Amino acid sequence: MNLITKYLLTIFAASALLLNIGCSTTPRAKPATVVDRSGGSSESTPPGYYRVKRGDTLARIALDNGQSPRDLAQWNNISNPNQIEVDDLILVRPPAGSKSAVKPAVKPSANADIAKTDAPKVDASKSDPSKEMVAEPGIRLSWPAKGKVSDDFSEKTKGIDIAGKLGDPVTAASDGKVVYAGNSLRGYGNLVIIKHDNTYLTAYAHNRTLLVKEGDAVKKGQKIAEMGDTDANSVKLHFELRVNGKPVNPTPYLQ
């Protein structure tokens, strides 16, 4: 047997040995499933409730659900509105028998019927729903400040910005009740929120001075604040209209 033949037989024998070892080895198990335990509740949120997330405040939850922070505190037996815990369930709809409802800002009448007829129509096939969505007819708002609209409504802005001068008057867009007056909502500065009825709510942000307090009844056109630049990079009024807590474009309802 020559040297080349011996060499080839040696290689073959070594390969067969490795193959045999590989076949007798226990097959590798599938990788273990990784469970994310970094936070976040998997529990469902019942209808009419909101589950608190990191960074939430009671005032923010109230605004996003069209309610008063005071009402939320009362409905949920919260003694300190500044102390809510992540994953807490917050009732955001009036409980049975609640007397927190605000009288409608617009009463059913011939004028209301006219408002329905004159309401702007939107061609959904040609528009961006996030920008063009508007409230159902039933409320007419006065302009809360004089000035040029410097930023239009969008999903990001949630309202419009009206430019002006420091100290310019800010007025209530419709009759209602002040449900918030303060500066605990990041990004809004000195803020006034007015609830007009169980559906409509307006917010007025970045004021220099607030002239009303929580619980005050206000009339359409009444001065409620002075324009400023708190939590903003310029003097302006940020104005929002919310329908059941959802931001909608207020422009078609401003007269």
Q: Is residue 6 part of a domain?
A: no
The pLDDT, as a whole number, for residue 96 is 79
Q: Are residues 181 and 244 in the same domain?
A: yes
Per-residue model confidence as pLDDT tens for the chain (255 residues): 555 555 555 555 555 444 444 444 444 444 333 333 334 455 789 999 999 999 999 999 999 999 999 999 999 999 998 889 999 999 999 987 666 555 444 443 433 332 333 433 333 333 343 444 455 557 899 999 999 999 999 999 999 999 999 999 999 999 999 999 999 999 999 999 999 999 999 999 999 999 999 999 999 999 999 999 999 999 999 999 999 999 999 999 998
Q: Does residue 83 belong to any structural domain of this protein?
A: yes
- State pTM to two decimals: 0.69
CATH code for the domain in which residue 153 is found: 2.70.70.10
- 61 lies in some domain: yes
Q: What is the CATH number of the domain that holds 55?
A: 3.10.350.10
240 lies in some domain: yes
* Number of independent structural domains in the chain: 2
41 occurs within a structural domain? no
In three state form, how does the secondary structure of the chain look? CCHHHHHHHHHHHHHHHHHHHHHHCCCCCCCCCCCCCCCCCCCCCCCCEEECCCCCCHHHHHHHCCCCHHHHHHHCCCCCCCCCCCCCEEECCCCCCCCCCCCCCCCCCHHHHHHHHHCCCCCHHHCCHHHHCCCCCCCCECCCCCCCEEECCCCCCCCEEEECCCCCEEECCCCEEEEEEECCCCCCCEEEEEECCCCEEEEEEEECEECCCCCCEECCCCEEEECECCCCCCCEEEEEEEECCEEECCHHHEC
Domain that holds residue 75: 49-91
Domain boundary among 62, 91, 120: 91
pLDDT of residue 81: 86
- Please report the pLDDT score of residue 112 as a whole number: 35
Does residue 20 form part of some domain? no
Q: Are residues 61 and 157 in the same domain?
A: no
Same domain, 140 and 87: no
